[in-house]
């Protein structure tokens, strides 16, 4: 690495300077401090290094968002399965159409 000589002293006027971040934070993002296992960081950093570009923090964020989306999809399927089990015997459409349109009576279908 090439050594760089220190810059000569300059008289800089800071009277109009403002405190705060130089780069504005994106809307919808929050800066936090978090402790992660070294193997998690090593994995995401190696993915970025192998790709030759990118940001490991963005990859970690994307992985967490994907997990949340997958979990909510699986919970939705499990919830639908429970609805079908609960109202299939009483559904006017029979077991094949159970909860597809009535959602256990939530859309106004009255059970006999």
DSSP 2: -
- What pLDDT is stored for residue 86 in this prediction? 67
In a domain, 70, yes or no: yes
- What is the rounded distance in angstroms from the CA atom of residue 104 to the CA atom of residue 106? 6
| pLDDT (tens digit per residue) in 28-38 | 888 889 999 99
Q: How confident is the model at residue 65 (pLDDT cuts 50, 70, 90)?
A: very high
Domain count, the chain: 1
pLDDT (average), residues 17-45: 87
| Structural domain range at position 75 | 38-97
Give the chain's mean pLDDT.
77
Q: What's the distance, Cα to Cα, between the start and end of the chain in Å?
A: 82
In a domain, 11, yes or no: no
| pLDDT (tens digit per residue) in 75-108 | 777 767 766 666 666 666 555 554 455 554 444 4
- What is the rounded distance in angstroms from the CA atom of residue 90 to the CA atom of residue 102? 11
Is the model more confident about 72 or about 34? 34
In a domain, 15, yes or no: no
């Amino acid at each position: 690495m090439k050594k760089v000589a220190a810059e000569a002293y300059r008289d800089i006027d800071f009277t109009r300077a403002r405190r705060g971040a130089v780069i504005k934070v994106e809307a919808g993002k929050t800066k936090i401090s978090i402790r992660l296992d070294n193997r998690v960081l090593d994995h995401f950093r190696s993915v970025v290094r192998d790709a030759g570009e990118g940001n490991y923090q963005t990859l970690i964020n994307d992985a967490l968002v994907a997990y949340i989306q997958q979990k909510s999809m699986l919970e939705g399927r499990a919830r639908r399965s429970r609805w079908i089990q609960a109202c299939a015997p009483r559904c006017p459409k029979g077991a094949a159409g159970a909860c597809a349109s009535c959602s256990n009576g939530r859309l106004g279908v009255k059970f006999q």
